[in-house]
Structure 1
Amino acid sequence: MNLIKKMMFTSLFIPGVLLAQENQSKLVLKGKAPVGSERAYLMHYDFETNEPKQDSVKVVDGQFQFETTGAGVSYAGLSFDRSFNNNKRAAKNELWFHWNPGTTVVDASQGKVKIIDGGPLTKDYLAYEAKVDSLRETFKSDEYRAYNDKIETLSKEIKKLQQERDAAYGTWRAHYEKVMLDFIKSNPSNTLSLVFLESIANDETSKVDERALFDGLNNDIKNSARGKRLYSSLKSKSLIVGADAFDFSHPDANGKLVKLSDYKGKYVLLDFWASWCVPCRKENPFVVKAYDRFKTKNFEIIAISLDDKKDNWLKAVKDDNLGWIHLSDLKGWQNEIAVMYGVKGVPTNYVISPDGKILAMDLRGDELEKFLEKTL
C-alpha cells in the first residue's frame, strides 16, 4: 500500500475507532466480601449485544474489585459461593442488580449482599430500588393480605355454590347437547341434524360417539358436500401418533398425480401451508434447512398448498427455495387432502414413517431438524 493510500485509510479508520471508544464508559464494582471468601465471581450482560460475560477476582483482606468498559448499564450477578458455571450453586451471598457506568460499591461482610454507595448513576439506581422496596412492603402489608384472604374465602364460597348449582340443575352445555342429540336421533333426514352434529364434533370436551351419530343420518345428507366434509373431519380425529396416515392421489403443478403410498420406504413430511400464510412462510427456512440436511438420507417432503391462485403458489415456492414435491388443487381450504386430514389451520404437518405410520405432528422451528436427527 503506497503512502497516499495509507493516509486515506488511516483518516477513514481512526474517527470510527475514536467514536467507538467515546461510547465506552468505565464500570467499577468494588466492596467488602463475606468473611472467609477467597474469590468473587461476576456475570454481566453486555449493554449492546446482551452477550453474557464472566469474570472472577481474588478477595484480598476482605476486599474485591472488578473493572470493565461498556456502552451502558449491564445486568449483573455477583456471587461469593461458586462460579456461575456451576448450575448447582447456592443463592446465598448472591446479588443480581443493574451495574451502571461509574462506581458501584457493595457490602457483603454482614451476610446479605447489598449496594451501599456509588457514582451518580448508581445513586439514581439506589433511589429506584428504594421505591421498589417500598412498593413491595405495601403489597406485603397486613391490610393487603387481609384483602387476599377475603378474596380466597369468597372464591371458595363461589366454587361451592357452583358445585351445588350444577348438582341440582346440571350444566347448560350437558342439557343443550342432550337436546341436540335427541333431535339428531329423531330427525336423521333433517339437514339441521348435520349442523347440530358439526357443533358437537367441534366441542373437544364432548364424549359423544360422533361417528355412530353420523352413520345414523340419511344417505343423502351423508353424501352431501357438507356431509363428506364432516365425515373427513370425524375420521381425521384418528390421525394421532402411531396411527396409519391416509393415502391419497393428488395433482402437482403440472397435473401429474402423486400418491403418498408411492413413497413407502421413505420418511415423509406431509406439510400443509399456503403462500398467504405468514407463519408458514416464517417456518419455511427451518424446513429448507432440514430438507437440505436429510434429503439424501431417505427423507422427502410433500407439501400441500391451500392456495387458490396458481401464480401466488408457485411464486412462493420459488421465492422460498422450496425444492421438494408440491401439490394443490387450488381450492383453498376445500383442498381434498386438507379436508381428508381435517386441517383447520396452517401450518400443519405430519412426519410419516417408511411403513406409513404417523411419527410426529406439528413440529415447529428447529424441532423438525432435531426430530429427524434423532430418528434418522
Structure 2
Amino acid sequence: MKIGNLEVYGIIYKITNIVNDKVYIGQTTNEKGFKGRYNYASCDSLIGKVYYTYLPKEKYKEKSIYNKHLLYSIRKYGFDAFKVIEIFDIAFSKKELDIKEDIWIDYFDCINNGYNNMGGGSNGKLSKKSRLKLSKTWKEKYKNGYIPHNLGNKHTDDWKEKMSKVHSGENNAMFGISPQERMDENTFNKWRNNISKSVTRGKNPFASKVVCLETKKVYECVKDAEEENNITGISAVCRKIRYSCGGMHWAYYEEYLNMTKEDIEQIYIKEKESKISKNTKSLICTTTNKLFKSIKEARAFYNCDSHICDCCNNKRKYCGRLEDGTKLEWKYISDLTPEEYIKYDIENKLNELHNHKLVQAS
C-alpha cells in the first residue's frame, strides 16, 4: 500500500473511547488502508464504518468473526464517543507489523482494559476472559448433545497431498520464521528444554551407537561417549575427519561390526604416518644434495639463521655456509622441476626418510 509516495507493507490504526479511555489497536494491509478494511460506503463517519461493517456479522454469529465487545460499546456510547486514528503507525514487513501491533496492544493494556481479545500479530493469544468464555460455550454445547460435523470423517490421500502442497514451502505462514521468532522468550526456553530432553542422547531415534576401539565399550550415542570420557570430537573420528580423540580411536558401531583386525591396524598405521608428515614441508639443500623433513631440522644441522624459508621462496639466494665458506642454496621438494627431482634422486631419499621416521614412531 502507498501512503503518499511512501510504499509500506501495512498500517496500525487506533480506536479510542474518549469516555472511558479504552482502546482498540488493529492492523491492516488493505491497499485502501482503514477505509478498505472497514468499507461500508454509506457512512462518512470512521467509527460508523466500523459499526456497520460489524453489524451484519452479528446476525451470523456461528459463521462470522467480529469484535462483539467493540460493537456493543459503539452501540452504547454512540459514534461521537469514539476517536479514530487511521494511521497510528506503519510497517515495512509482516514481521514488523505483527510486532508493532503486539507492542501497542501491550502499551495501552488493550486486552485487560480495552477492546482487543488477543495479542497482536499472527501468533496473538486470547485473553484469559475470552478463553473462559469459549470454554464455557463449548462445554454447554457438548452437554446439549452437540456433535462436530466432521466427527469420524477421514481425509482421502488425494486431499492430504493437495493440502500438503498448499501449505508447504513459502505458502506456509511460518515459512522462514524460526521458533525463537514466533514465541516469547519464556515459551521458547520451555520448548527448547523439552526438545532437548526428548531427543538428546539415546532417546533420539536417529542416534548412532559408537564404540571405542581400545576398550570395546559401546555407547548409545556420541554425546554419551563424550560426556563419560570428558572429551569432544568423537563424531569427527567416526566420520574419518580425524584419527583419534582423547588418545582413543572410535567408530560407528554398525561399521565396527564389519571391521577386521587388519582394518583396525590400518587405522593406527595411517595415524602414525600422518604424525610424521603433519605440519612439515620437506626441503633440500641443493648445494650438498642433502634432504630434510623440515626447516627446523635443516637449521639445526647447518647452524643457519632463520632465512632458509626466504631462500625457498626465492626472496634471497643463499642461507648458511659450509666450513670451507661455500654458500648454501635451498629449495622446497614441492617446487622442484621433474629434471631436478631426478637429478637429486628425491624419490629414494624420501623413502629412506619416511621409513626411518616410521620406525621411530613405532
The TM-score with structure 2 as length reference comes to 0.20
User: Computing the radius of gyration over CA atoms, which structure comes out larger, 1 or 2?
Assistant: 2
